[in-house]
Amino acid sequence: MVELIGLIFTFYAVFAWAIASLVYKTGLEKTDPKANLFFRLCCVSFGTFVFSLIFGSYLFFSSLNRAELIWYLIASLISGLSVTVGDLLYYMSLKKIDASRAYPLVQLSLIFIFPFSIFLFGEELKVSIILGGILFLLSVFILSSKDKLEKNELKENLKDTKPEEVIVGVLLALSAAFLWAVAILSFHQARIISGDVFITNFLRVFMACIIFFPLGLFYPVYHSGFKKENRKYLKSFIFIGIAGILSLGFADTLYYKAAKINGLILTSVICINSPILNQILSILFLKEKFRRRFFIAVCMIIAANYIVLFY
């Protein structure tokens, strides 16, 4: 039985991720991805710490034995590093291939989540979820496809692109999808041990921030978001930081609470609604062109939601 509160948490996460993606898309036009990566980590570390104080309870540490504490910290660390490196690989893939190729590929993280959720957490994979998941993935590919005019423009832009760069870009996107799946699975394991999503989210982001901090000593671009010469882009950095707090910081925690209520597989499938909501918001606020494939994708996603929720 699907719990309503779990669905509310899930759809809030979907909405927050879609809004954040618009902010990232706008902000990254003026700022460097690596600079944003560390700046966002710092903002999210602060935001998740505040959320952990308000909504979490650090008392669970006293109930963990030594083995449980070690596994909890390892799972949190793996989740934090996986989601951060996955973000970086996705940004790198966008440098090699266009978004219409990269975006559908990273959605394949669902393929990695299914078998591990069954093997590690004993979840049940229903036929309705498989069918709904297939429809969701197909709709993402349709949504990301190019029309004739866009294809011609793309060919002109990619005339000088080497075939090996395309291969590298595809591999980077697939690696990002795998790492995001690892981040989800390891966080879910940490949540099972602790029972607290807000503190777990803070710890994983904070540990990733601590590990990425020394990189700025060797690669100053990671710390460039805090430098005076980039002060003119401070507004973009701040908006990206706020978006990170609301998405990676808060929406992720509600996603894992929903996974606790309705299961990781079902929750992950429903979250593929994010691309379609992203397109709706892009049309409304970024004035992107409405295309026929968008209507087809919407129909497929409505059908997928119906199958997943009511069969």
Give the pLDDT of residue 146: 57
- Distance set, CA 10 to CA 77, 104, 161, 199, 264 (Å): 24, 20, 39, 19, 11
Q: Is the alpha carbon torsion for 144, 148, 149, 155 positive or negative?
A: positive
Place of tokens 């294809």: 151
Give the pLDDT of residue 163: 62
d(CA 80, CA 89): 14
The helix (H) or strand (E) run that includes residue 268 is: helix 264-270
pTM of the complete model beyond 0.85 = no
Give the pLDDT of residue 1: 64
Q: Give phi and psi for 177, each to the nearest 5.
A: -60, -45
User: In the chain, which stretches have pLDDT less than 70?
Assistant: 1, 95, 98-104, 143-164, 286-291, 294, 309-311
Residue ranges covered by each domain of the chain: 4-310
Cβ neighbourhood burial of 291 (10 Å; 0-12, 13-18, 19+): middle
